[in-house]
Structure 1
């Protein structure tokens, strides 16, 4: 379905004679995603926007809305409610996204794990194809939405950019530029909570301790 396209008319008919009332007006009852437009005079229903299967209002692939038919022949007027259940098919309207664009790793390791996310379901989502656009790196093991990037050289503390292209199962994707931070590690897990200085430099705990000691010595001399 396209935006503005009509998908049907649901006229209200009298339970007594089976005929459509000439004085019936139509309105939306429930349309949580605001996808639908209903002509108040004819009851013709069209799309305001293209339905999206990834919407929070789509449950198990279906979207439910209600319309109201107000019969003005009666005094007072009476209202009937109709329920519309739309089955929303999935399309390839999303591309894989790497959410963590600033990974942090130890200088004594040569690998980096990258995970991508795509709300589209099969066959428009995972498994993804990862391509690293840097000759100093290669793709290692891949599994579903995760890939291991392996460095071909030794890593030194600092920050560098690493372009990685991620494509879904249909070949749709784009390049993501990772800002990879490499830090010295004394444990298995990297400590990325380093104190930043001007110009992008960082100081570890030992350097900060030396600065404090230097300040104390200076005070004693004074």
Structure 2
């Protein structure tokens, strides 16, 4: 008579890693895990919460990235004496910003050129000699009123697909977010005197101070894009973390 093979089916987890995170944070902020406390081991915690070790590891990692825990190999996991606040950056979409206010969004491509990068841009983006770039000037509207002027440069060597896009229907902001990730971001905020383009497209008077943001992104040490965003009069930027 052949041996009987016993097959056991693993019980599905009913607790998510987010629920585990919430409980861990509550124990840190309300007790019993005060500053400097050494947490039980990962296996022990997984058994207590009724989850897999993988789920527990992810929960602990996420709480650590929020700044509450200090995890060291062989030394265990401790509650930080003082939580470290960390800001996570998500690439903003102007369409979402406008529609969030309840306004209707519209996009317009003003100009598109594929050219050799000017000297100042090669230095700024650390491009090679005779590097080609896609230069785009775009307008974003809220309820039919010009909201933002986008002056963008895309490194064609790092992203050759950009030379094949006409950007007439979908703007470079949305296309880049959907096409390429980023590993490094540099952002500057400045007041700039209105130039001819800002006067023509945003309605500023010549020389008016204009709120601008400049953003450069890289992917694995290769420059991807540099953009200057000029805003209409009265624009306010608010951040929260």
Structure having the higher Rg: 1
Higher percent of residues as strand: 1
The TM-score range, normalised by the shorter chain, is: under 0.3
Higher percent of residues as helix: 2
Normalised by the length of structure 2, the TM-score is: 0.23
Normalised by the length of structure 1, the TM-score is: 0.24
